[in-house]
Structure formats: structure tokens, C-alpha cells
């Protein structure tokens, strides 16, 4: 299975890079994983947040193939347990989806066009987290999902 993560912004903190790199290495045994980082729009005027989201959204959408299954991370998305998330990935694979694309928005969130493109909207929490932390959470949960799918120890 191919998994693509599209994230607005770059990882800045060393601890974030170390954590993500570790999960990337572990995931190599289970899937083909790629990352596309979309440059965050510099916020020069708070009144233009919608415009910034639209610009980021255009770049995100251009990186998604028409037949990709898209999961956006959104506060108002559906919350899943780790087991339910693993089952979702397993089901998508069994249904013949070759590529799952996860989308992490920037500071302004996701444009309506990106949200509308989603096949599934996932929420890790109703709380707001930095995109750096969400990226670590996402990599870890994808890794955990493959461990659950393969009945391997890790998840308790």
C-alpha cells in the first residue's frame, strides 16, 4: 500500500524530526510512504486568512491523484479508536485503494475545497495541536495500525 502525507509547513523542532524519522523507518516494513510538504503561506494580514487557506489548498489539491483515497485531519472529523483506524486502513486496502493520502493543514486550517475533496475526515481530538505534533501523532497511529493489522505486539 502507498501512503502519502501532505502537510502544510515544515518540521522545525529537532525532537519532531527525530520522532517522525523513527516512525518512517519502522513503517518501511509495511508500506511505501511519502511526504509532501506544502510551504505555509506567510500571514501578513490576518484579514486574508481565507485567501491563505485557498492558496495552500490549491497546492494540496495539485498533489493528489484523482483516484487517491483522501483522509483529511480536521477537528470536526470523526474520532476513531486505534483499532477502528487500523480496520479502516485494512478495509481500504481490501477494497483495492492503492494510495491513501493524509492531509494536515496549516495554521489557518484547510480550505473548503480540500475538505470537500476528502473521502473521510478524521479527528484526533477536539483540541487544537501544532501541525508538528499532529504529524508525529499521525505517523505513530499509522505504524500502530499496521502492527494491529498484522497482529504484532506494540498496541496494548
The pLDDT-based confidence of 145 (bands split at 50, 70, 90) is very high
CA geometry: angle 43, 123, 92, nearest 5 deg: 115
The CATH number covering residue 84 comes to 3.40.1280.10
**Which structural domain, as residue segments, surrounds residue 108?**
2-149
Q: How many helices (H) and strands (E) does the chain have?
A: 5, 5
**What pLDDT sits at residue 156?**
62
Strand order of the β-sheet with 2-8 is 32-38, 2-8, 99-104, 69-79, 120-123
Does the residue 154 lie in any domain? no
The pLDDT-based confidence of 128 (bands split at 50, 70, 90) is confident
Rounded distance between C-alpha atoms, residue 32 and residue 30, angstroms: 7
Let me know: does 49 contact 65? Beta carbons within 8 Å: no
**What pLDDT sits at residue 44?**
72
Does the residue 36 lie in any domain? yes
The pLDDT-based confidence of 131 (bands split at 50, 70, 90) is confident
**pTM metric for this prediction:** 0.94
Percent of the chain clearing pLDDT 70 (strictly above): 98
Task: Kindly report, residue by residue over 86-123, the tens digit of the pLDDT.
Answer: 999 999 999 999 999 999 998 888 999 999 999 999 99
Does the residue 156 lie in any domain? no
**What pLDDT sits at residue 50?**
84
Task: Kindly report, residue by residue over 38-74, the tens digit of the pLDDT.
Answer: 998 777 777 777 888 899 999 999 999 999 999 999 9
DSSP SS3 for 61: helix
H-helix segments, the chain: 14-27, 49-62, 82-94, 112-117, 131-149
Q: What is the total count of domains within the chain? A: 1
Amino acid at each position: 500500500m502507498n501512503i502519502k502525507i501532505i502537510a502544510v509547513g515544515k518540521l522545525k523542532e529537532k525532537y519532531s524530526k527525530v520522532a517522525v524519522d523513527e516512525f518512517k523507518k519502522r513503517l518501511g516494513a509495511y508500506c511505501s510512504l511519502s511526504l509532501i510538504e506544502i510551504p505555509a503561506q506567510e500571514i501578513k494580514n490576518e484579514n486574508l486568512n481565507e485567501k491563505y487557506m485557498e492558496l495552500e489548498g490549491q497546492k494540496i489539491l495539485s498533489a493528489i491523484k484523482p483516484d487517491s483515497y483522501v483522509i483529511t485531519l480536521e477537528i470536526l472529523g470523526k474520532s476513531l479508536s486505534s483499532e477502528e483506524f487500523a480496520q479502516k486502513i485494512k478495509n481500504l486496502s481490501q477494497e483495492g485503494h492503492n494510495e491513501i493520502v493524509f492531509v494536515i493543514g496549516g495554521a489557518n486550517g484547510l480550505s473548503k475545497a480540500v475538505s470537500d475533496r476528502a473521502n473521510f475526515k478524521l479527528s484526533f481530538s477536539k483540541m487544537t495541536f501544532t501541525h508538528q505534533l499532529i504529524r508525529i501523532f499521525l505517523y505513530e497511529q499509522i505504524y500502530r495500525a499496521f502492527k494491529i493489522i498484522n497482529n504484532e505486539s506494540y498496541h496494548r
